[in-house]
Chains A and B, each alone.
Chain A
Amino acid sequence: MKKILIVDDEEVIRMLYAEELDDEGYDVVTTGTGHGLIELVEQQKPDLIILDIKMAEHDGLDLLQEIRKEFYNIPVILCSAYSSFKGDLKSVAADYYVVKSADLSELKQKIKMALEGHIPSESSTE
């Protein structure tokens, strides 16, 4: 079972995502803060992270840079109520960017794509 870590400071969002993604067959872990996030990722070893951008105490785009330094290949989906952060070049380090909506179909589709993503480790033609 694939494990998804949700990082969002809104409890309602965490509950909604957890319930919907649990129904889809994912093992869901949530946190409402960016404090100790790297340690949590090390401990939980998620297959994918859903990361809010605008949180009360943290900037998700800065957290993304920290995640990328430590875990180069864990898929990260930025999930924000605002589309304006797409213009921030820091968001390029995420696998996908989804604007929050009551309809989770786009998020679910992007989760599927991110988990299916595969690149061979090196050329097998050499």
Chain B
Amino acid sequence: MHIEENPNDVRSADVIVGIPSYNEAELISYPTQMANEGLIKYFGDKNSVIINCDNNSPDGTREAFMNTPTEVPKIYLSTPPGVRGKGNNLKNLFKKSCDLEAEAIIMVDADLKSITPRWIKNLGQPLFEDFGFVAPLYVRHKYDGTITNNIAYPMTRSIYGRRVRQPIGGDFGFSGKLAEIYLKQEDWTPAVAEFGIDIWMTTMAMCHGIPTCQSYMGRPKIHKPKDPGESLGPMFSQVVGTIFDIMTKKFAFWQEVRWSKPTAIFGFGLGEMEMPPPVEVNVERLYDEFQAGFTGYDALWKEILSTNVYKKLSEVRTLGFADFELPANLWAEILIDFAVAYKKSAHDREKIMESLIPLYYGRTCSFVIELEPMTIQQAEEVIEDQCIVFERSKPYLLKKWFDTK
């Protein structure tokens, strides 16, 4: 069930730009204007529509969207009052895309401040050139996207074998056929209905062998970056919980994956690379949160982690802030042990996810300290090296996974 406003009575569309939102009245007008310009400039020969899929926002998002002047027709879709979640919004978008028989769907975040019409082209055009899923490739500040850099990217790359640098980037392109595949899936967990949706979409594309490319956006993603120690919110457990859930369901696929493969890249020739704005991180707070984790979770960690991993973690605990380091190989093994514990223990999953947060803070603290003197390019090399460490840990993952069968 959903609420719909379709003042132009749009009944079919070749290209859709979808903008999921909740309480984005202040910012949604800008990406809507850019979507309009992009659709007219680059897809002028096709029938297009811009759809805002919203959670019945009380702040006037609907009015802000519908009142934005555009030549391209607009549709407002909403979940019923009280139903929240980005995933629920996108489920409405998938359904509408199938109803309109769209060939290409482009989705962009409602809080984007750096989107240009070219983003619409770059996320959409590969869908008319045999690709079924398009992920964004943009330069981000070295401290922005720490869940991506330390969990989502290395884990999806090492487990499913495809290198998608921004698997939870939020700005994607996908074909109408893939929208149908998404709709047919029966594993819509509560986390997928919320912030787990981005990693779920990327991983489903990988597991279904959908031809994937990454598209260079030209400008950095400028939205509302957050200090990872200040406001983790429910996003962490929804994203990481979804990664662990999919691992359980797609074991037959990923057990055969060895190392990883790059994807094709689309969209170069956009001129000079623009640097992203800085992100401030309270690194002392990350360290304190890591240390505080031992007070509440030491017993549980001892249970979840293998003896050797727990021993190494105990060594890390003794390091002062000045010398602090939680190395990538230990981090990979911690995540593997947690994924296995999550698989084994269906009833304690909330507690397991909660106890992973201080360890994530520890890894983030170590990561920020290591990257402090580095350029964005050097930081990318550290992230690539970390991915190789995760790929090398695959035999450990397989052994642990089989041991719990």
- Segment of A14-22, A24-32, A46-54, A115-123 engaged in the interface with chain B: A115-123
- Given the known A-B contacts A123-B207, A125-B253, are A89 and B258 also in contact in the complex, defined by CB atoms under 8 Å? no
Contact B261 A120 (CB under 8 A): no
**Chain A CB within 8 A of B251 CB:** yes
CB of B45 to closest CB in A, whole Å = 23
Chain A residues lying within 8 Å of B264, measured Cβ to Cβ, are 68-69, 72, 93
For the complex, what is the distance from the CA of A95 to the CA of B161, rounded to whole Å?
11
**Chain A CB within 8 A of B163 CB:** yes
- Segment of B193-201, B208-216, B227-235, B283-291 engaged in the interface with chain A: B208-216
Which positions 57-101 of chain A face chain B at CB distance < 8 Å?
Answer: 65, 68-69, 72-73, 75, 86-87, 89-90, 92-95
Contact B259 A86 (CB under 8 A): no
Which positions 245-271 of chain B face chain A at CB distance < 8 Å?
Answer: 249-253, 256-265, 268
For the complex, what is the distance from the CA of A119 to the CA of B259, rounded to whole Å?
8
- Given the known A-B contacts A90-B265, A125-B252, are A117 and B208 also in contact in the complex, defined by CB atoms under 8 Å? no
Contact A73 B261 (CB under 8 A): yes
**Chain B CB within 8 A of A114 CB:** yes
Chain A residues lying within 8 Å of B161, measured Cβ to Cβ, are 117-119
CB of B380 to closest CB in A, whole Å = 7
Contact A122 B209 (CB under 8 A): yes
CB of B151 to closest CB in A, whole Å = 20
For the complex, what is the distance from the CA of A69 to the CA of B161, rounded to whole Å?
20
For the complex, what is the distance from the CA of A69 to the CA of B213, rounded to whole Å?
11
Contact A118 B259 (CB under 8 A): yes
Interface residue ranges, B against A (CB under 8 Å): 137, 160-163, 165, 207-209, 211, 214, 216, 249-253, 256-265, 268, 273, 377, 380-381
